[in-house]
Amino acid sequence: MGRRTTATLADGREILYFDLPGAPDRVLTDPRELDPVSTASQLRHDPALDEWVVLASHRQNRTFLPPADECPLCPSRDGRHTEVPSPDYDVVVFENRFPSLSTHADPVEAVLPELVASAPGIGRCEVVCFTSDHNAAFATLSPTHARLVVEAWADRTTELSALPGVAQVFCFENRGAAIGVTLAHPHGQIYAYPFVTPRTRQMLASAAAHAERTGTNLFADLLAGERKAGTRVVAANEHWTAFVPAAARWPVEVHLYPHRRVPAIPALSDAERDAFTLLYLDVLRRFDALHDRPLPYIAAWHQAPAGPGAEHAYLHLQLSSIQRSADKLKYLAGSESGMGVFITDVLPEDVARRLRSV
């Protein structure tokens, strides 16, 4: 679908244009003079939780909420040069200028070698600009344009998964100042981790235990159960179902599952990608209609990692918001932050009913 063009930014970072049919050729030369990208990221292993922590102190000075006329994700126009050299684009992906992980991460010294393992922060972080329109949102994209974003996710998942040392690829979007975004331009990110993330490890371990006990796939059973119950289903089509999970943690939380079990975005058929695009736009617009204002959210793709456990994976998207009412946010306080036990103030069935009604 469309055309893909690859170029290099002034500091050596890769940039990729994904364009719809008929789009003009893009400007590929970056005239800026840029400092080298930091390669100081490192990993430290927390032995108490058996989790890796990424340390990237250079990100403290990254660009923070610039005015619209100084947005680095807008196209380069009227003599102002940004991260995107071309004066327009459809969808563009480039390596993050302030990466949490780097393919060129420096060697590190151990801090507590007997207890805390250390390693270079090997990996890759990319920015995905959904549109050149600074005032747009994913929810306002046309189906054709949003479908191009899905193609970009699939392309990057395939390429990043093939990089040496990459164990998991995570496509996501943070939307809204309440979530903590540092750039208002509609965009998402992709992380290529050198380890399997704690959430994925836990989910796959649960799925493995379920398979041993029942002989079936946990995620397929969850989807079948929600479709049969119907009370928490928000919307559905031939290939996908969107539902509020029965044990939802967030004030507004919807999971989108394909009806056919696939491990990752690249495995989706054209028909499944088309159907996802339409359903996702529908759900995002319901989110914004819930309180008649743009809802802050995190959209997180759960894909199969490389290696053991991947056979239990089931691709799905988790969409969640901390907005618990029109004028109140949910904060992670004592029970959630201290013990990891979520306490919710709304019933999932009520959230699903409200989303269906808007």
Closest by CA to 306, choosing from 145, 182, 123, 131, is 123
The answer to whether the annotation marks 74 as part of a ligand binding site is yes
What distance in Å separates the CA atoms of residue 73 and residue 69, rounded to the nearest whole number? 10
187 as an active site residue: the answer is: yes
Distance CA 148, CA 130 (A): 9
Catalytic, out of 187, 239, 255, 312: 187
Which alpha helices (H) appear in the chain, and where do they start and end?
143-161, 198-214, 218-229, 270-290, 348-357
Task: Report yes or no: 290 and 327 within 8 Å, Cβ to Cβ.
Answer: no
Is 185 within any annotated ligand binding site?
yes
CA atoms within 13 A on the CB side of 18: 22
CA distance 127 to 261: 28
Give the CB-side neighbour count of residue 331, counting CA atoms within 13 A.
3
Give me the amino acid identity at 104. H
Count the alpha carbons within 13 Å of 85 in the hemisphere toward its beta carbon.
Answer: 22
> What one-character DSSP code corresponds to residue 75?
B
Cα gap 129→142, rounded to integer Å: 15
- The tokens describing 124, both together, are 């890759």
Mention every residue, 6+ apart, whose C-beta is less than 8 A from residue 298: 172, 173, 174, 175, 179, 318, 319, 320, 321
Amino acid found at 234:
V
The answer to whether residues 101 and 168 touch, using CB atoms and an 8 Å cutoff, is no
Residue 99 backbone phi and psi in degrees, to 5 = -80, 145
Distance, CA of 75 to CA of 88 (rounded, Å): 5
Point out the residues that are catalytic.
187
Output the known binding site for Zn(2+): 71, 74, 134, 185
Output the known binding site: 71, 74, 134, 185
